[in-house]
Amino acid sequence: QVHLQESGPGLVKPSQTLSLTCIVSGGSVSSDTNYWSWIRQHPGKGLEWIGQINHRGITIYNPSLKSRLNLSVDKSKNRLSLSLTSVTAADTAVYYCAGADILMGTNFSFDYWGQGTRVTVSS
Amino acid sequence: QSVLTQPPSVSAAPGQKVTISCSGNTSNIGNNYVSWYQQVPGAAPKLLIYDNYKRPSKIPDRFSGSKSGTSATLGITGLQSADEAHYYCGTWDSSLIAALFGGGTKLTVL
């Protein structure tokens, strides 16, 4: 069973860069059947897809975040990373990493979810 | 406002059946697979349905999915108090070049 664990700073100042990591266990970021996404949920709101990366490092970003976003994969540490620059209060949310197994669905049906990490943008 | 439209809330009594709709267009639901997720308060979402109607092995057959044209539907039979949660539909949008989620539907088991 694939387990995802996000971690991050909790509190980020406006205009700074948000950096999050997601440790993958029970599976491999190098798998060619898994696609890894980041998804966020603003307080009391619905889900927003942030972007996706695969084992080759090929990315698809949400157009609304593309100019500020960078996703990466570290095969040596079996982990995923998110970097979001120039954050504002609108980036306050719970951030999830999620995995899709294309042996069971498409690369946008998310089989595995981390527990989420809460990020607050405030001075 | 979400591109995928879901009713904000639905309710039904224990043991009854409920359906949750998800309406989109030809760029998303009309030409892509739909997934459904359950999110109980304080927890991460959980995949219930993928590829419009398929269930992961651990999901009971009380949960079902269907799609017709540019709309999809999640059905839940034999409602239990544990089913109280928010439910989200999701799919890919070929025009926006982004994955989308519906705004979510809160299910209340009366």
Q: Mean pLDDT of residues grouped by 10 in chain A (123 residues)?
A: 94 98 95 95 96 94 97 96 97 97 88 97 96
The whole-number average pLDDT for the span B24-49 is: 97
pLDDT of A4: 97
pLDDT of A105: 82
Whether B104 sits inside 8 A of A37 (CB atoms) is no
Closest-CA residue of chain B to A49: B99
Q: Given pLDDT bands bounded at 50, 70 and 90, which one contains residue B109?
A: very high
Q: Please state, for a pLDDT cut of 90, what percent of chain B lies above it.
A: 97
pLDDT of B2: 83
Burial pattern A52-76, b for ≥16 Cβ within 10 A else e, equals bbbbeeebbbbeebeebbbbebeee
d(C-alpha A81, C-alpha A19), whole Å? 7
Judge whether B2 is closer than 8 Å to chain A, CB to CB.
yes
Whether A108 sits inside 8 A of B51 (CB atoms) is no
pLDDT of B17: 97
